[in-house]
Amino acid sequence: MEHLKHLNAMQREAALHKDGPLLIIAGAGTGKTSTLTHRILHLIKEGVTPSEILAITFTNKAAREMQERVDVLLEQHGFGAGLRHGLPATRGFPAEAGDARPFIGTFHSLGVHVLRAHAQVFGLTKHFTILDKSDALSLIKEAVKAEGLDSKQFSPDRIAHVISGQKGNLVTLETYRADAGNAYFPLIVSSVWERYEKLLKREGGLDFDDLILKTVILLRDNEDIRNAYLKRWKYIHIDEYQDTNGVQYELARLLAGDNRNICAVGDGDQNIYSWRGANIKNILNFEEDYPNARTILLEENYRSTQTILAAANDIITKNTVRKDKNLFTKNAKGEKISIIESYDEGAEARAVGEKVKGIIAGGESPQSIAVLYRANFQSRALEEAFLMMGIPYQVLGVRFFERKEVKDILSFIRAGLNPESLSDIKRVIDVPPRGIGKATLAKMFANDVASLAPGAQKRVQDFKKLLESIRETALSEKTSKLIKFVSEKTGIEASLKTGTDEDNDRLENIHELVTLATKYDILAPEEAIEKLLADAALASDQDSLIKNESAVKLMTVHAAKGLEFPYVFVTGLEQDLFPHRRMSEARVSKEDQEEERRLFYVAVTRAKKKLFLSYASVRTIYGQRQVNAPSEFLSDIDDAHLEHETADSDHEPVIRIEW
């Protein structure tokens, strides 16, 4: 088996398995993509038609990487002619092997592929529109309004979240309505959902959730169509199986059919998306769902040092809901893990910055370094420190001052101070929704408010009074109080208190803006707010100038999944921040506790050479300084793997807690 010679024994065993269900438990850094791509190569060498192979993963990045690696392998082994999807092979593949390469894509791209071919079943054309989350939310808002509901009382965001969650759990409108009974809020959701579906039909489109849900319904309810795909795809591969939700699980089951040639690859210890509907039970129960399944453990890690892996094993073994495995490596022992203790978030950011500068001065590229955090708002202090220290960086995700909720708050202030700023007025005039649409806005901008209906005139006048009150507050109160005033007076804060993770993140970002604003409180009000607005604009401008890929990466731990870096900093390791506890939660469930530990495990296993863990004794959240205990996760790691250091600070000494 010359083509499998680069695989280790367990990887080779997985690649050689052909018929029947296969579960590959692939720990972090154990070469799962290499195993999966070589398995596809081996199937083709065994005579399987390339177009009979299906491989599904979750992200476009992962799908592209897998496709590229499969293409390279097939080219290397003489199957290059079949690589151009949809074109006849002229050499390499035998004539009867078909005309296409394996189908490798995401669940959503698979849904699009299937639904385009059978769009008429749902009254669509093959050119149906795919609505992104923003477009879908706009229709939900329209549906709420059409049902005569108050969007402040019945948040479109919350209703959209419910509908999306139900679709992800394979629940249709009809099923949801039947189960709702006489419950008040579910009845409201049902009415909005029905209106929303009508609007989708009017648009001739589907939302992201429909792409998978409709595909499942199509295959489940149409035997001929299902059988056609069972004949086409005879070998199914599902990557990141631990992240599948109810509808994705059912799609995989339908495609596996009676021959059950399904290969599920994943790691329950990296299940970190339950808030998105991912069900860890799908991977834990695989052997029950497929009784004759072969299970293979990939435990040899090729990424990290022995020290980092030992710490990772210490962390994850504290969880009880998992399949037991123990990562090991032939790599060097490596350096100890550094624990950086700082007084506050500013000192922490500076300490991280100094370490980063030292690594770069030692000859390492900035792009070899990643700084991770649990919540988006934490990036603000880090960005500020990196800007001051001249460290090139790139935020994966939206930069702090470019986040919608932050821009909305600042736009309200700019519009209050400068009523001629039409772009700011246009941005916030209906944030949150207050019934001022495009027609009314056009009349406002044309100074023709008098021609509006009395109700519309009142809404415009109320908005102008709101801006006037913001102006008065900006010129008379401390900046931090102004931010709180805008957040509350405009209704933005109330609109975000819906309980969804996305809304909670946005609320935390607004609270972080209050914390940032306290820096300006020592100045006179007018001078302070002008400086804050100028600093915000300057930070955005500087960020936009950093085009070079050679930059330190800043991102949440969730965003880091699937990535690896020689040097990794995990910041904000404080109790109630990481592990995270929502402000609205009185206690955290066991399931949430274990997921937080899995998230920390993912963070630790991103590091290849050196890992830094940091925390602050004091952190300011929503303008309030609070003393924090170090994260319980730090005490999970054997002290033999750690080295402690205290960051220099102009403030009080850090609160040192030994474990």
Instruction: Walk across the sheet containing 369-373 and list its strands.
Output: 393-395, 552-556, 369-373, 565-570, 607-616, 337-342, 642-646
Write b or e for each residue in 55-80: b if 16 or more Cβ atoms lie within 10 A of its Cβ, otherwise e. bbbbeeebbebbbebbbebbeeeebb
Dig out the tokens for 94 from the structure.
């035998």
Query: Which of 459, 606, 610, 619 is flagged as catalytic?
Result: 606
Q: Which residue has the tokens 């202090």?
A: 381
Cβ neighbors of 339 (< 8 A, separation 6 or more) are 613, 614, 634, 642, 643, 644, 645
Residue 580 DSSP SS3: strand
| Burial of residue 149, with CB atoms counted within 10 A of its CB: 0-12 exposed, 13-18 middle, 19 or more buried | middle
Q: Smallest Cα–Cα separation from 106: which of 251, 1, 304, 267?
A: 251
Dig out the tokens for 542 from the structure.
């500087």
Q: Smallest Cα–Cα separation from 276: which of 604, 576, 599, 23?
A: 599
Query: Which of 11, 12, 30, 33 is flagged as catalytic?
Result: 33
Q: What angle do CA 171, 177, 178 make, to 5 degrees?
A: 90
Helix (H) or strand (E) holding 338: strand 337-342
Task: Provide the angle, in degrees to the nearest 10, between the axes of the packed helices 156-168 and 246-256.
Answer: 30
d(CA 426, CA 439): 12
User: In Å, how far from its chain's centre is CA 334?
Assistant: 31
Query: Which of 12, 32, 336, 403 is flagged as catalytic?
Result: 32
Backbone angles phi, psi at 531, to 5 degrees: -70, -40
Q: Is 248 designated active site? A: no
Q: What angle do CA 633, 639, 641 make, to 5 degrees?
A: 95
For residue 571, how many other CB atoms are within 10 A of its CB?
Answer: 29
Query: Which of 240, 267, 408, 493 is flagged as catalytic?
Result: 240
Secondary structure percentages of the chain, helix, strand, coil, to 5? 55, 15, 30
Query: Which of 49, 166, 248, 270 is flagged as catalytic?
Result: 270
- Answer for the pair 274, 245: CB distance below 8 angstroms, yes or no: no
Q: Is 239 designated active site? A: yes
Q: Smallest Cα–Cα separation from 197: which of 140, 270, 129?
A: 140
DSSP state of 448: -
Query: Which of 71, 157, 210, 239 is flagged as catalytic?
Result: 239
Residue 157 DSSP SS3: helix
Q: Smallest Cα–Cα separation from 92: which of 80, 84, 83?
A: 80
Query: What's the Cα-to-Cα distance from 473 to each of 108, 482, 524, rounded to whole Å?
Result: 48, 6, 12
Dig out the tokens for 246 from the structure.
């109810």
DSSP state of 499: -
Q: Is 606 designated active site? A: yes
Cβ neighbors of 59 (< 8 A, separation 6 or more) are 106, 562
Q: Position 656: which residue type? A: R
Q: Is 593 designated active site? A: no
Helices within 299-446 (DSSP H only): 306-316, 345-361, 379-389, 404-417, 422-428, 438-445
Which residue numbers are catalytic?
Answer: 32-33, 239-240, 270, 606
